[in-house]
Amino acid sequence: MADEQVTLTIDDQTVSVPKGTKVVDAAKTVGIDIPVFCYHEKLGPLGCCRMCLVEVEKMPKLMTACTMDVGPDMVVKTTTPKVEKAQKGVLEFTLLNHPLDCPVCDKGGECPLQDNTFKYGPGDTRMEFHRAENLKMGPLSPVITLDRERCIACQRCTRYSEVIEQDSALVMHNRGFNNEVGTFNNESYDTRFSGNVIDICPVGALTNSQFRFKARTWDLTNSDTLCAHCGCNCNMTLGTRTNQFMRIQARPNDLVDDGWICDKARWGYDFLESSNRLKEARTLPDGGTMLFSSPTTQDAAVRTAEAIRNIVAEHGPESVGFIGSPYGTNEELYLYQKLFRSGFGTNNIDHKVYADSPGLPIDHYDVSDIETSDLVLAIASDPTEELPILDLRIKKAVTRHGVRLAVLNDQATLMDKYAALSLHYDIGADGKVFSALTAAISGEGKADVKNTGIKADQLKSLVEMLRAGKKITIVYNPAALTGKSIHGLNQLLAMIKNIPSVECGAIPAAPQTNAVGAMDMGILPDYYPGGLPVLDSESIKQQWGENAPTEPGLSALEMIERAASGKLKALLVYRANPVVDFPGGKKVEEALRKLELLVVHDMFETETAKLAHIVLPSNGPGYDDGTTTNIGGRVQFRKGGLKTTNPPDWKIISLMANALNEEGDRVNYITSFSVTDEIAKKVPGYGEISKRSIKKEGATREPPANNNGSGFEAMDSPSPNADALKLRIANYLFAHDKILDASSQLAHQFQPSIVHLNKKDAKKLKLKDDDDVVVVSGDVEIAAQVEISDRCNPGGVVLPNISDEQGVWGLANDRDGVTWVEIRKV
């Protein structure tokens, strides 16, 4: 087992490492550098480049340190004349056809070939013949440039494609003397994780087209930061020069990302300089209430606070509300809830349109627990599109650690291919499935699978798998559940925990960057930070003062309803775009238009910002510092990197708070960490979080207590007519939205609007592939093309959200149940 230690000697140093470690990695632990090209610790041994030759006592020939396991009492020497001669020889061969164009090569300065040549190489070459001439620069994809002359055929990139991404899209053609890296039929290499090959290429053969010839690597200012696109919170390095964005690279943190980032992380940062950004504060020029003209951001913040306070004074605290964003940092969200609760006295605070509450009835597992589990149960989650690095982690667990995967979903996903058992329930039947599964595990009540699309024996197989599990990780996407079925899921989780001899935990895998943090920070109408229920008035008054509101507030959707009926007067929307992302479409817009005061604090000119009376610019990721909590409950620091004259959001929010306070009560935070320190004091579970504790790998926060004790009963949603189908809105990683706008590097990944229909329904509706249709619900019509597949069970359709313009959420008229749609041919 991994615990067994082996002791050996490398260059006269004694090294103790776990059995199975390769000599090259063992040497690294004592600071001995054995040069490599083809070896990469995440890819495992190959031994094709011969760079890592070492001498081992009692072995007649030189050995490759990257393929050799450590052995007890092994004596390894890495600096003998024999080794040095071999290293020189190997490098001379490696450099035979390598153009020495380092002065113009983007890899220069961070190139293993360059470094190894300086350190171990010959000063000269005996090569007298013409060097091979190959493609000097060509697009491997719209974002990766391939220089075949520089390639040393180490196969890191092709093995990455095979071992890590597991789609073998990048391969070695013409194996042998003329081998070259390529794709099928010279197609573009555009997968979801293609960019990692740039980081692992040990030469300048694969380079980032965006960064090409932009700057020398040693001139960059590198900020260690996090990706802000999804709940994985992968670690990355933001390279800037003269305060301009240059590039993004992976920054390995095995506990979070295992060393990889997806292409959205690498190339999805054009928004930093998007023309659609809100650069300054503004007020509605005409119509509405003309509050004041051309304000500074600071001014606008103060006036916003005063305007909301005036409305509170006139109509009461229940007349104002806050819709936050699961994309904000913990600091920003914490300060906003504090402003609305302590400053305006309301609990009308929310950040989501699906049902969920803080805390889990079982342990909150970290992402790395997936690898040490023996069973992973993925529920309603599509990691490939929602949390890409989770997709890689699950694939790795299944294929390399022998973890079994069970899938329970209403749509087919890429995970099915890796699943030992994959059950597809009917869209909207999630609640019933959870109840049936709970009953089947407990043995009490009837495990009723009627009208779920799952057969009784399938359910039985799943129960058997769960019963046989030793350590089970349940990954679920709360945002993909319908109605209140999250409560049914919580009961199921509690039931799994009760299975004797099972150790289990869950990862709530909502796609948004800080979905976990937003719940923890109490951006909820019924919970204060740390999962403290508003009804627990005693604890609240103790923690938050006598005046803290203890009446449950309105949810985001209720706020929109109240705005429509004129009861809600003022709304502050922080980095959210309800007009596009909330169910209801036009109705949301009409409701927001009725508000006396709509303040939008956002990075972009969104459809919602266009309606706002006051607009406050938000710098967001890349500029502002803050912490976020990932799906595994790990809190990490997201450093800004770029500078701007606009104040950071935490400052804007504290300006608002201070505008309401008497001079003595004003709080002046110095950095974002001053807010983090306050969070540590005020938010249960975050006590250990500090600048220091999260510095290296982040730190997991204590999960809040679980409060979902309430009973849950699944309900049927009756079909309005015979041709109606249940709608599942799916996620697409590269959706064309405000983040990936038309000028994005990833624009080639945008997809057309496609509605996925089951064969049975297509036959019934007389539709065939590529038919142009509209998906209709009420008076909303979304144009789409038909694709017939078994992506969902009969009776449903899957419609991926591919752009803001498509506006799929306009179809969803009722988030509390199932949305029924009709498909009409155009």
Q: Which residues bind other proteins (CB under 8 A)?
A: 162, 167-176, 182-185
User: CB of 167: closest distance to other proteins in angstroms?
Assistant: 6
Nearer to other proteins, 182 or 453 (CB): 182
Q: How many CB atoms lie within 10 A of CB 710?
A: 10
Residues contacting residue 370 through CB under 8 Å, at least 6 positions apart: 376, 393, 394, 397, 403, 473, 475, 507
Nearer to other proteins, 166 or 337 (CB): 166
199 contacts 249 by C-beta, under 8 angstroms: yes
Nearest one of 595, 601, 611 to 573, comparing CA atoms = 601
780 burial (CB, 10 Å; 0-12 / 13-18 / 19+) is buried
Nearer to other proteins, 129 or 177 (CB): 177
Nearest one of 642, 608, 574, 95 to 333, comparing CA atoms = 574
Nearer to other proteins, 172 or 774 (CB): 172
User: CB of 190: closest distance to other proteins in angstroms?
Assistant: 13
How far is CA 341 from each of CA 331, 344, 368, 464, 550, rounded to the nearest angstrom?
15, 6, 36, 47, 9
714 contacts 446 by C-beta, under 8 angstroms: no
Distance CA 308, CA 728 (A): 38
Q: What is the 3-state secondary structure (H, E, C) of 752-788?
A: CCEEEECHHHHHHCCCCCCCEEEEEECCEEEEEEEEE
723 burial (CB, 10 Å; 0-12 / 13-18 / 19+) is middle
Nearer to other proteins, 189 or 734 (CB): 189
Sheet order of strands, 634-638 included: 626-629, 634-638, 699-700
DSSP string, 385-443: HH-HHHHHHHHHHHHHS--EEEEEESS--GGGGG-SEEEEPPTT-HHHHHHHHHHHHH-
User: CB of 153: closest distance to other proteins in angstroms?
Assistant: 13
Nearer to other proteins, 183 or 608 (CB): 183
User: CB of 185: closest distance to other proteins in angstroms?
Assistant: 5
User: CB of 184: closest distance to other proteins in angstroms?
Assistant: 4
User: CB of 168: closest distance to other proteins in angstroms?
Assistant: 4
Nearest one of 696, 682, 677, 684 to 637, comparing CA atoms = 696
User: CB of 642: closest distance to other proteins in angstroms?
Assistant: 38
Longest dimension (CA), the chain: 91
650 contacts 670 by C-beta, under 8 angstroms: no
| CA triple 327-586-566, angle to 5 deg | 90
Sign of CA dihedral 280, 285, 291, 293: positive
Nearest one of 59, 62, 109 to 87, comparing CA atoms = 62
Residues contacting residue 662 through CB under 8 Å, at least 6 positions apart: none
686 contacts 530 by C-beta, under 8 angstroms: yes
User: CB of 175: closest distance to other proteins in angstroms?
Assistant: 4
Question: Would you state the structure tokens that stand for residue 358, as one six-digit string?
Answer: 């803080």
User: CB of 790: closest distance to other proteins in angstroms?
Assistant: 16
Q: Are strands 282-283 and 699-700 parallel, antiparallel or unpaired?
A: unpaired
Nearer to other proteins, 43 or 172 (CB): 172
Residues contacting residue 173 through CB under 8 Å, at least 6 positions apart: 179, 180, 181, 182
User: CB of 179: closest distance to other proteins in angstroms?
Assistant: 9
How far is CA 254 from each of CA 81, 191, 474, rounded to the nearest angstrom?
37, 22, 20
Distance CA 614, CA 630 (A): 31
Tally the C-alpha atoms within 13 A of residue 356's C-alpha that lie toward its C-beta: 25
Question: Would you state the structure tokens that stand for residue 465, as one six-digit string?
Answer: 């798998």
Nearer to other proteins, 174 or 668 (CB): 174
755 contacts 808 by C-beta, under 8 angstroms: no
Q: 3-state DSSP call for residue 337? A: helix
How does DSSP classify residue 789? -
User: CB of 94: closest distance to other proteins in angstroms?
Assistant: 22
User: CB of 161: closest distance to other proteins in angstroms?
Assistant: 8
User: CB of 470: closest distance to other proteins in angstroms?
Assistant: 24
Nearer to other proteins, 188 or 539 (CB): 188
812 contacts 583 by C-beta, under 8 angstroms: yes
User: CB of 170: closest distance to other proteins in angstroms?
Assistant: 7
Nearer to other proteins, 181 or 659 (CB): 181
User: CB of 262: closest distance to other proteins in angstroms?
Assistant: 19
Nearer to other proteins, 184 or 213 (CB): 184
Distance CA 335, CA 357 (A): 20
User: CB of 362: closest distance to other proteins in angstroms?
Assistant: 33
Question: Would you state the structure tokens that stand for residue 28, as one six-digit string?
Answer: 């690294």
User: CB of 417: closest distance to other proteins in angstroms?
Assistant: 9
